[in-house]
Amino acid sequence: MAYKIPLPLTFNPHKHHLGFIFQQLKIWQNKEWPEITDEMKVIGNNLTDLYYGKLNVTEICNECLFYFETRKINSPEKFSEWLQPNEYRKIELSDKSMWVIKKGANNHRHIHIHPAKKSPLTTRVRAATLKTAIAIKIQQKKFSNSNDLNLQDVNQVRTEFLGLSPIKNISRGKGISKICALFNSL
């Protein structure tokens, strides 16, 4: 992977950071499709919260680390105490986005971060929708030169490249259309 999340954080920018995904698109456009789909597996298959603000992955990680350092929450034990009695907490970063903080899977990466649902600069998206928007951007050269989404092209990407069911329509400003518009705004 072309990024390194600092210890003790766990953060998956493939499913939670639009700017990171946009940069990743440039790399994926030069790879074979099986390799791309293998890398996209980390997006998962569920709903996800996608941050589209201006902070990059490093800045988000650094702000989270600073939050814990200034509060002397510097060990897995202190972190567990800080979480009590909840399973998660929320913190606000410099751009007013809210981030969920919960216990990570192991002691080396015991702080798991991701954007909070309904937070400023965050949108909730289905993994299949995110993967479809990514695949559309990668395959866009094969379609019309327009940025307008074409139902036939979208369904071709979904069925041929992602193994997903076709959709019946494209709702303007929602779902695939919304995520593609976010990509186009970068």
pLDDT tens, position by position, 7-45: 999 999 999 999 999 999 999 989 999 999 999 999 999
Instruction: Answer whether residue 95 is part of any domain.
Output: no
Is 21 buried (19+), middle (13-18) or exposed (0-12) by CB count in 10 A? buried
Instruction: Answer whether residue 63 is part of any domain.
Output: no
How large a percentage of the chain has pLDDT more than 90? Answer: 80
Instruction: Answer whether residue 113 is part of any domain.
Output: no
Measuring CA to CA, how many Å separate 47 from each of 117, 119, 132? 10, 15, 14
Q: Is the pLDDT of residue 1 over 50?
A: no
Q: Given the structure tokens 């606000």, which residue do they identify?
A: 92
Domain count, the chain: 1
How much is the pTM? 0.91
Instruction: Answer whether residue 64 is part of any domain.
Output: no
Identity (one letter) of the amino acid at 121? L
pLDDT tens for 46-101 read 999 999 999 999 999 999 999 999 999 989 999 999 999 999 999 999 999 999 99
Instruction: Answer whether residue 66 is part of any domain.
Output: no
Instruction: Answer whether residue 87 is part of any domain.
Output: no
| Beta carbons of 97 and 115 less than 8 angstroms apart | yes
Q: Given the structure tokens 């998962």, which residue do they identify?
A: 44
Tokens of 149: 């989404």
**In which domain, by residue range, is 39 found?**
15-53+125-185
Instruction: Answer whether residue 91 is part of any domain.
Output: no
